[in-house]
Amino acid sequence: MASSPRLSSSLLLIAAVALLVSPATCQTCESQTFAQRNTKFSNCTDLPSLKAQLHWTYDPSASPNPTISVAFIAPPARPEGWVAWALNPTGSGMLGAQALIAFKDTNGSAVVKTYNISSYSSIAESTISYEVLSKRAEFSDGVMRIFATLALPTGDEKVNQVWQVGPSVKDGVPVKHDFSPENLNSKGTLQLVSKAAEEDKNGPAAAPTSSNGSGAPAGAQSGNDSGGSSRICASVLGLYGALVLLGVSLFLGF
């Protein structure tokens, strides 16, 4: 059955809208999976800027020091760019951050290197104040992933975290990132030990939360909490399904 120009235009419009709300673009930390099936974390949070997510497990009983294992996930500002996740033991911003920065090496493979951010003008690969027990990076589908385990000082109940993305790497050195509001707001506090666990150390520990420095959960303030994102994704998936059904109905002449 030949379709009319009006029907063809309608189908093209539906297809265009469907691509914009494709389920592939709707992903929260809770829906993410890893290539290695045994890679699992106790907690995750959708960070409030730069489309980033953090998965982490804090082990206070590790010896000789507590450890934090993380998977930081974000798209670089450009395909040839870089992503970074850091802890800052001396402040809440980038200066003083002990950073893990991942990018594609000259051979195309993803690498992650350590940087002590002591200046805003330039950076150089160096050791950091945290012992790095393991680190690796992956890049696929336009997203960079940093996997690492760090040893932490005994007694840390929360840590300052900073994350960032950049546009390119020149001669093995990450090029300066943008200074948009999203870039400037990419920092917060990661609560390793919940207040409930501290009040009752003999009781079950509640899940740690991530906050943006104000004491409130990062997602709750930004609107990017896992529950909110899940509801938005559910709405998007529903709309996507409705558009597909509408397209089929129009095509069959219902």
Tell me the per-residue pLDDT of 150-173, one tens digit each, with 9 for 90 and over. 999 988 899 999 999 999 999 889
Q: Does 246 fall in a domain? A: no
Does this model's pTM top 0.75? My answer is no
Q: Does 244 fall in a domain? A: no
Peptide bond into 64 cis (omega under 30): yes
Q: Does 155 fall in a domain? A: yes
Tell me the per-residue pLDDT of 55-68, one tens digit each, with 9 for 90 and over. 999 999 999 999 99
When divided into structural domains, the chain yields a total of 1
Q: Does 237 fall in a domain? A: no
Q: Does 133 fall in a domain? A: yes
- What amino acid is encoded at 71 in this protein? A
Q: Does 228 fall in a domain? A: no
Q: Does 240 fall in a domain? A: no
Rounded to an integer, what distance in angstroms lies between the CA atom of residue 154 and that of residue 145?
A: 27
Alpha-carbon distances of 178 from 52, 77, 167, 168, rounded to whole Å: 16, 9, 8, 11
